Chains A and B, each alone.
Chain A
Amino acid sequence: MFLSPYTIKIFTNTVTYVVFTLVCFSVGMALIVSLLTTSINKTAGTIFRALWLLPRITPSVIYIIMIQYMLADAPSGILSQFVTGVLGGQAKNWLYSYPMVAVIITNGLIGTSFGMIIFTSAIESIPPEYVMAARVDGASAWQIIRRITIPLIRWPLLFVTAYQTLSLLASFEQILLLTNGGPGFYTTEVWALHAYHTALSNYLGNTEFGFGSALAAVLVVIGIIASVVYLRVFRFNEMVAEPKIEVL
């Protein structure tokens, strides 16, 4: 495994995928959406959040078909139509031109909702007096976000980052459906998908259960270590407090 020449390529892919999805969407976009939706009218905010949940509740196969069509080449692709018609640019098959970006956006739109829900409830529980006081003192919107909101929700921020890192590391269903590791040679093949391909599909003509399991085992070990660390960090003892009644 460690000697395979592709390992480095796949490792790089995995890191790129996880880091960019996490920073741009799971945390970044989630924070932007929850900050925006909590600053406007409550009903409107709920509607926008409900729309952002759509990618998550949509069965993955349908969601991927939509993405593929949006990124398709002219004449049918929606993005290509938009680029040629409105921006006057060149139509192309965006999925083939920028496969990694497409994979990151596709997973990111799903990942955003998780952080969005948690950040929203955290932001809503900030006492309004804090914001009020800052505004009276003449703080700008940006200063309020930077100096009050972010510090007060740093715990949820940490939680979402940790939780999403783990689930991104092991998720591959969307990538399998969108690009199946391609186009070309391993351009979007990530670690979990590679394990799956190696063990269970006839991608390269023969299946290698043992090698695939070894690849998956790496993820399992990372997962167990990370989970144990979470339990330490996120006050597990409170969650397993002993019951108060002892009658059986």
Chain B
Amino acid sequence: MIQRLRSAIPYILLTLLTTPILIGYIWLIISSVSIRTYGLRPEGLTLENWSFLTAPIRSRPGIWQVLFSTLAFAIPLGLLDATISSMAGYALSRLKFPGRRMFLSFTIILHAFPSATLLIAIFFVLRAVKLYDSILGVVLVSVSLSLPLGIWLMKGFYDNVSWDIEMAALIDGCSRLRTWWSVFLPIIRPGLAALLIFSFLGGWGAYIIPYTFLVTASIQPISVFLQSLTGDYTFVNYGVVTAVGLFQLTPVLIFYLFTQRYLLNLYSGGMKGGA
């Protein structure tokens, strides 16, 4: 009996620690279908909160417009990040060229270095090249800020591929490019897919960069849209806010469920064990 109690202790502690997190998500779901909530108790079930799907909220852009802007930002971000990282990672992992060491040092310094401090400088650069308040500008900024991590992760994946496979391909007469395309890419595909999803989700939930560099409401992504819903009336309609929030959160959770194993690796910054 005492033995059983003792083995239950970790479960009890974990449940206590985890409950506050779970409550937030439960509230999000309950509130999105209620007129209002007191704590977790809903008062009056309704689907009215979800009417934003068909009709715009006040004078804001409609949700499908917002969705389009978000995808126009997140999809190029994911594709560019994955493409460039997979190529650069290969070069840095397998090729010898002058400046390689320095390039790797810069990459890891940029990776360890939090990019938020660079926002002010980026603001000037964007204005100088006339990309301020354009989706292209935000995509370019976000890609360049996420590349150090992407390159570093990809290099890690390539480093784990055996040298013999590559040697065999080269001896059989493959060019480097061909080796990369038909030998390496199939091997690292799971990692590449995870990086693609990771950086897509990064764009999907991004707030600070679009908020800072996009001012036109019609091209702002969903995070900025959602935040603006909580900002400007004195009484926030939590029903609508949570419905939009759930709309944004659902794809993230679905992706997370399916790619959890790979994403875990990426969220830790690609550091293996003792790093």
Contact = CB atoms under 8 A, between A and B. Distances in A.
A228 B109 contact: yes
Contacts of A155: 274
Interface of A is mostly: helix
Given A59-B223, A117-B267, A223 B117 contact: yes
A213 B39 contact: no
Contacts of B201: 57
B13 interface: yes
Contacts of A137: none
A32 B96 CA distance: 44
Interface in B137-195: 163, 166-167, 170, 176
Contacts of B116: 170-173, 192, 196
A243 B260 contact: no
A140 to B, nearest CB: 11
Interface stretch (B23-31, B48-56, B57-65, B80-88): B23-31
Interface of B is mostly: helix
Contacts, number: 210
A113 B24 contact: no
Contacts of B245: 61-62, 65
B109 A118 contact: no
Given A61-B226, A66-B28, A244-B163, 18 more contacts: A36-B14, A48-B18, A51-B22, A57-B253, A57-B256, A59-B204, A59-B205, A62-B248, A70-B23, A78-B40, A169-B114, A171-B116, A192-B117, A223-B112, A223-B113, A224-B113, A227-B112, A246-B96
Interface of A: 29, 32-33, 36-37, 39-40, 44, 48, 50-63, 65-70, 75-78, 80-82, 85, 109, 113-114, 117-118, 121-122, 125, 155-156, 159, 163, 166-167, 169-173, 176-177, 192, 195-196, 199-200, 209, 212-213, 216, 219-220, 223-224, 226-228, 230-231, 234, 236, 239-240, 242-248
17 contacts: A37-B10, A51-B21, A59-B248, A61-B245, A62-B245, A62-B248, A65-B230, A78-B27, A78-B40, A114-B268, A117-B267, A196-B116, A223-B117, A231-B105, A231-B109, A240-B101, A245-B163
